[in-house]
Structure formats: structure tokens, C-alpha cells
Structure 1
Amino acid sequence: MKSKSRLFYTIISILLGLIFGSVILLINGTNPIEAYKVIILGAVGKPNYISWTIVNSVPIILTGISVAFAFNTGLFNIGAEGQYIVGSIGAMLAGYFLKLPPIIHPIVALLCGALLGGLWGFIVGLLKSKFAVNEVISSIMLNWIGFYLSNYLLSFSSIRRPQSDNSYSILPSANIEFLKDWKVSESGIEFLSEHAIFKQLLRPPVNWGIVIAIIVAIIIWFILKKTTLGYQLKAVGFNKDAAEYGGININRSQIVSMSIAGFVSGLAGAITVLGVSGNIGMMASQQGYGFDGMAVSLIAGNNPLACIPAGLLFAGLNYGGGKLNSALGIYSEVIEIVIGVIILFVAMPKLLDLIGFIFKKKEGNKQ
């Protein structure tokens, strides 16, 4: 599908989702305009809201890129959630146990998380290429293995904080929060007290994650569009038999593709631990970012660069929608319905073609 057509379908799908959400709101006796006003202002109405939207968007942008990359190579990466979880495990262990200088420590911790996520993807690719195990099944199973592995690790007293369900906090040297030390310094406190807008912007755990996500999106796009590796991986996705006839190693390509996808999802988990939840520690829970990444990838039309605005939209709707209950007294789950309808229509471009054809036919009959 051409990029212009995909953009058109995405915009129409978003509008249809908002219209469907309006119907649900009206049924509940709520003014849709007021509700969407709360959502928009709740996402971007204040500087700290904007920061939280950006912070929340980073993991779903990266997991979306992971899913999009695998899909472009003919594979379904349903295991982004498990890769995200093991990535957070790797970053937490490296961030807590390793004693390294401040600049080197976060880089090593990020790589540990990303490599562990890559290993999770590698296992899926290996099972697919060597034993013909469907990647959907193996990646789903590995999601649960990653989840229970995180629970198991928290049973160790050297990792689990006493009387808590969390791990110990990462060391300050591994933290990637933006200007973290400066904000608590004497000069930082004085500056922020005099500049309210910066104080609000930097109050949430703003970190380098969004910069990393943008760089990763560009790199993945470049790999797919401009490199021999990308051409080979996409060729395998389009037609395995033709690619093999052309001399491309199918088994190697599938392993490489899933390893790269896992690397990106693992990086998402590492960024969350090092930039957002590091002071709290790792928790025994599934965050759901891997599954949200699948939705972001669909909205973005499996384009790595388009995952950035799609992730920001998704995060904004979720964060702003969370304020519906306190502002209007209605359930914030209505925003999940809106997102679900958007994804439904994005996944059904032929239906939109049919609707467009019907309208054109009616206009032709009138003329």
C-alpha cells in the first residue's frame, strides 16, 4: 500500500474511532466535546502533562518499532512484551550490581537489557528456522517465561527489597533521567523556583529515552530501506522461495530479524528501568507495553518512523483519558474503546475502500 493511501486510511480510522467513542459517551449521558477536551488538555494542557505523555510514549514507540521491523520481514513478533520484561531485568541487574563510572554505567546497562531482549528474540528465530515452530506460539510462550522469570528473581533476598514486591533501586550512576543531579542541586533548585514552566516540564522523570527512540527509529528505517541486510530480510518476508533461489540464507535471515526485533523491545524495558522506575526498582508485573506496541505498529502502518507520532498519540490518549473519571465522573476505559476501534479500522483498509466506493457510486447516481 502506498504511503499516501496508508496515511489517509490512518486519519480516517482515527476519526471513525473518535466518532464511535462519541456514541459511547452519548449513551452514557456525557458530552463528547467535553470529554475529548478533557483528554486533550489532560495530555498536553500543562508542561508536566506533556512531559508525562512523552515519557509514557517511549516504551510503546520502541516496542512498536520492534513489531514493525519483524512484520516488514514477514514475521509476527507477538513476544515484544516478554522481550521488554527480560530487557528490564537485564538493565536492573546491571544497574544495581555493576559498579561503573556514571557515563559508562547507563550505556552498559542499556546494552545488557537490549542484548537480553535480543536473546529472547533469537530463541524465537532459532525455533522458527531450525524446527519450523510458529513464531506466534513460541513468542507468546516466551512472554510468560519472561514474566515468571522476573517473579522468580524477586524471590532472592539479594535482589528483592525487604517487605516489598520491588527489587532494590538501581545505582545513581546508572540513571538516565535528564538533569537528575542538577535538579536537586542548589543551583538547580534556585533556577527551577524562578522558572515555573521548566519546573513543571522537569518534574516528571524526563529521560533520554525519547532521544534514543528517535535514533532507533531512524536506524531501523535506514536498515530496511537503504541496506543490503534490509533488502534480504524483506525479500524473505515477501517470498521465501524466491529469496532462497536468489541465494539468501532463509534460516539466518529469520534469526537475525527476530534478534533485532528483540533487541529493540529489550531496549524499551531497559529505558523504563533506568529512566523511570529505577528509584522504585523492578516490579513483578507485566506492563503491557509489548502489546501496546503491536497497536502502535498497526496505526503506523508498520513504518518505523511513523511509530513515533503513533506512539505519542497512543500515550496521549491513554494519559489524557485517565483524567476522565476525576474530571467528568465517567470511566476512563472509554478511551480503550476508541483506541480499539481505531486499530480495527486501520486493520481493515478494504472496508474503508468499500465505504468510499459506495459513497462515490451514490454521488455518480445523483449526477
Structure 2
Amino acid sequence: MMKNERFFHIAVPIFAVILGLLVGAIIMLISGYNPILGYVSLLDGIVGDSYQIGETIRAMTPLILSGLAVGFAFRTGLFNIGVEGQLLVGWLASVWVGIAFDLPAIIHIPLAILAAALAGALWGFIPGLLKAKLKVHEVIVTIMMNYIALHVTNALIRTYLLVPGERTGTINTSASLASDFLMQLTQYSRLHYGIIVAIIGAIIMWFLLERTAKGYELKAVGFNQHASQYAGMSVSKNIILAMVISGAFAGTAGAMEGLGTYQYMTINGGFTGQGFDGIAVALLGANSALGIIFASLLFAGLKIGALTMQSAAGVPTELVEIVIALIIFFVASSYIIRWLFTRFSKEGK
């Protein structure tokens, strides 16, 4: 039974991707586009040269951390829809520290990342507290707090940090994750050292959930609160802690944008989408640290490669969004894929 579960955890995402690409090809044919040329152009846009590779890795960096935020909460029995808002407050906190202080890089960068993690953790603490003490469903609270985060960050920028261009100033170089070496290596892409932070985040999630007693306790509470309470575990504390850790991952994702890709923060007219993409990444990655890394690579590659697919094959970028939606749909329809596997395996016997 355990082997079957592991097999399905690996097989379902792979088949979801295959089915998504296949249905996407059919849609291209119906729409009058060449799916072979389209997908070849898409692949070329992902790994065609060092610049494209650098941009793909850069794009997957915040996706990994957003996916970890969603996946961690889900593994502990919670559904954190507020990753987008936690990312925004983390982004602003990292940029503020990057602007306000002028310290050695070895101190400044960790301090800015820590500020982002704490801001995201605080934004996660509120729905965690309401869930633990008042039984308010975290989905409702986190959705609403996304809008609060969007407008609060915009107001803070406009009031205290605004410079021409409807944005904050640029962070000090001592807080920057950008690297001349990585830029030259990838033909001046925006690749930065944030990918190392994201990988460390994935290792932390794996170690915490799989190798510590606290991780076991968090998962136990998520699996069955009544049994956990009967066993002497504090359900309330673990719910709050799970949301705080999830929020910290999301806030760190914001720091990757603030300290790495952009090095400032604009007044946003809407959401960035990174936090919501994290839900899809976690779903495709089966809420595991390693799976989330691979899923973020796929999603980042599709988004970066879509630009080349449009210019080289004339295929609209919206078709890539359709493919992504199809992949998510087939992952969510994993019951059908499991049924097909079971039926074919029985027929084979």
C-alpha cells in the first residue's frame, strides 16, 4: 500500500503534465497553430541559451518559497490562501531594511531576509490565532488579508518611501542578492543568489517535517486534532506555529523579489500572482519539498518560455496559461488517473 501511494505521488503529476501538454497541443491545432513548432519554441525559450536558463531559475526562486508556504500549511492540515499577502509584506519589509541601513553585506542581507520572514510570519500569525482560538476558517481570513496587505503596503510606500516612478528607492548594494558573476555567466539575466535561499528553505521544510518531533506533532495535529489533543499535544499552539512558519516562507519569497529581481517595490495596482501560483506549485509537487522544486521549475519554464513561443511560433502566451490550468486540473482530478492505473493494472494481470 505504501509503495502504491509513493508511486501515485510521482506518477500523477507526471501524467498530469503529459495530459496538459497533449490537450494544449490539440487546442493549438484547433486554433490553427503548429503545436510541434510551438513546443519546440517553448523549450528553446527555457533552455535555448544561458540567458533563458538564468531567467528560468530566477523565476522559479520565489515560486519555490511560495510553494513551500502553501505545502507546509497543507501538510499540517491548513490551507493558506494568504501567501500572496504574506509575500507582499515580506517584500516591503526586506526593501525597507535594504534602504534604511548601510551595513556589511554579510549582516545586511540576512537581516533583510529575516525582516521579510518575520513580516510574513506576523501576517500568518493572525489567521492562525483566529483559527486556534475562535475557530474562524483560515481560508476566509487569509483571502481577506491578501487585500489588506496589498493596500497597506501601497499606503506605506506612498506615505514614507515614495520616489518618482510610483515606487520605493533602490536598496543599498550591501543588501542586494544580485551577482555580477551570475549575470555575466548567464548573459546578463536577472539571476541572483536567491535560488540558494530557496533551496535552503526546501531543506528546512523537509528536515522540520520529516526529521523532528515538532514536525511529527504538527502533522499529527493536522491529521486528527482530537486524537492529538488526547495524546497531550497543544492543538492551538501547533495551528498558530504552522501558520507562522508558512507565513515566514511566503515573506522570504517576497524578499527574493525585493532584494534580488527588482531591488525595490512598486505601488501595485493588483496582486503579483506569485502567491497564488504557489498554490498550483504545491499541488503539482504533492506538497513535498523536492516535488515543489521540480514543479516550480516547470511553471517558471512555461512562463519564461511562453515569450519565445509567441515571438518564434506566433502562439499567444495565453495558450501557455491554458496548459498550466490544464495541468492543475489533471492533478486535481487525480482520482481519475488513479482509477485508470488501477483498471489497467488489473487488466494486465
1:349 correspondence with 2:324:
no
State yes or no: 1:293 paired with 2:295.
Answer: no
- The equivalent of 1:139 in structure 2 is 142
What secondary structure does 1:287 align onto?
coil
CA distance in 2, matches of 1:231, 1:276: 35
Number of residue-to-residue matches in the alignment: 345
Structure 1 residue 22 corresponds to structure 2 residue 25: yes
Whether 2:36 is the aligned partner of 1:33: answer: yes
* 2-structure distance, mates of 1:299, 1:8: 11
Matches of 1:320 and 1:59 in 2, distance apart?
Answer: 17
Instruction: Measure the CA separation in 1 of the matches of 2:158 and 2:298.
Output: 37
Per-residue CA deviations over 1:243-279 (Å, capped at 9, x if unaligned) read 000000000000000000000000010111101101x
SS of the equivalent of 1:176 reads: coil
Counterpart in the other structure of 1:249: 234
Which of 297, 302, 313 lines up with 1:317 in the alignment? 302
The structure number with the bigger radius of gyration is: 1
Letter in 2 for 1:25: M
Matched, 1:174 2:157: no
Tell me the residue number matched to 1:205: 190
Amino acid at match of 1:45: G
Match of 2:163 among 161, 164, 173: 161
Over aligned residues, Cα RMSD in angstroms?
1.7
TM superposition score normalised by structure 2: 0.95
Answer with 105-114 or 252-261: which moved more.
105-114
Show structure 1 runs of 4+ deviating over 6 A.
361-364
Q: Give 5+ residue unaligned stretches, structure 1.
A: 184-197
Measure how far apart 1:234 and its partner are: 0.4
SS at match of 1:155: helix
Deviation at 1:361, TM superposition (A): 6.7
Distance 1:83 1:250, change over 3 A: same
Is residue 91 of structure 1 aligned with residue 94 of structure 2?
yes
Q: CA deviation at 1:19?
A: 0.6
> What TM-score results when the alignment is normalised by the length of structure 1?
0.90
State the distance in 1 between where 2:345 and 2:80 align: 38
- Match of 1:4, SS state, is helix
Give how far 1:176 is off.
1.1
Q: Is the 8 A contact 1:89 1:282 kept in 2?
A: no
Conservation of the 8 A alpha-carbon contact between 1:92 and 1:282: no
Residue-by-residue CA offset, 1:26-79 (whole Å, 9 max, x unaligned): 011111111000111101111010000000000011000110000000000111
In 1, the alpha carbon distance for the partners of 2:342 and 2:244 equals 42
Please state which structure has a larger fraction of its residues in helix: 2
- 8 Å CA contact 1:77, 1:136 repeated in 2: yes
Q: In structure 1, what is the Cα distance between the partners aligned to 2:36 and 2:45?
A: 14
Partner amino acid for 2:215?
G
Q: Which amino acid aligns with 2:166?
A: D
